[in-house]
Amino acid sequence: MTLRVVIVDDQELMRAGFTMILNAQPDFEVVGEAEHGRAGVEMCRQVRPDIVMMDIRMPEMDGIEATKLITDDPTIDTKVLVLTTFDLDEYVYSAVRAGASGYLLKDTPPQELLAALRVIADGNALLSPSVTKRLIEEFARQPETESIDSPQLGDLTERELEVLRLLATGLSNREIAAALYIGDATAKTHVSRVLTKLGVRDRVQAVVLAYEAGVVRPGSPSET
């Protein structure tokens, strides 16, 4: 299967470089480019790519706002990989809250970028452990607010709630399996069921929901 990609970046040279890397692969096809977020959103509505590679700082509309418009639109089934030169907490937090499925720096080696795109296309999220740690730390800095009401949480079994709490600390499936003394395949199944029951796209969105619903709070004993 060929993965159809749109590249949104205000630097023409950057777009050309990414296009060259992706089109050299048999399973990728760049189907569009845009120089700012507003044009990127319109292009996604027109060509319906599998993934959009989104820069953050751009004229007209930045990548965070564009990401939110894309992920909030029920007519667009496109996943967003935020790719930026800025390794800052505020951008990680904002990108994830906007619905991005991944966050990488532009100096990521080409093979890692291609692997990340494939991971996201498979419906998984791509955040390195260091980025997940910064995301959790950002939640810790947010003012204490009343927990949101999430009826879907009531559909989770006790075991699935355990899995959600561990997932929210940034653990991988294998680490969750070790923590619960279960097999890797069983842990993967539990995670998949949690995402389905919560109605979220990927584990990153599950982390956001877990903190906003008060299932996990920064500094709680589960974060060890």
Per-residue pLDDT, 46: 94
Residues 121 and 151 occupy one common structural domain: no
User: Would the pLDDT of 69 be above 80?
Assistant: yes
Give the pLDDT confidence of 125-152 residue by residue, as tens digits. 666 555 666 666 666 566 555 454 566 7
Residues 41 and 118 occupy one common structural domain: yes
User: Would the pLDDT of 193 be above 80?
Assistant: yes
Asked if residue 34 belongs to a domain, the reply is yes
Q: How would residue 41 be classed by pLDDT, with cut points 50, 70 and 90?
A: very high
- Owning domain of residue 124: 3-138
Residues 58 and 84 occupy one common structural domain: yes
Residues 118 and 23 occupy one common structural domain: yes
CA distance 16 to 209: 37
Residues 126 and 151 occupy one common structural domain: no
30 residue type, one letter: V
CATH code for position 154? 1.10.10.10
Residues 88 and 17 occupy one common structural domain: yes
Q: Under DSSP, is residue 169 helix (H, G, I), strand (E, B) or coil? A: coil
Per-residue pLDDT, 106: 84
Helices 12-23/110-121 angle, 10° precision? 70
Query: How many domains does the chain divide into?
Result: 2
Asked if residue 219 belongs to a domain, the reply is no
User: Would residue 69 be called left, alpha or beta, if left means φ above 0 and alpha means ψ between -120 and 50 degrees?
Assistant: alpha
Per-residue pLDDT, 107: 83
Distances (CA, A) of 11 to 3, 30, 57: 23, 16, 11
Give the pLDDT confidence of 51-66 residue by residue, as tens digits. 999 999 898 899 999 9
Asked if residue 115 belongs to a domain, the reply is yes
Residues 155 and 116 occupy one common structural domain: no
**Helix, strand and coil in the chain, % to nearest 5:** 50, 10, 35
Q: How would residue 13 be classed by pLDDT, with cut points 50, 70 and 90?
A: very high
Per-residue pLDDT, 196: 86
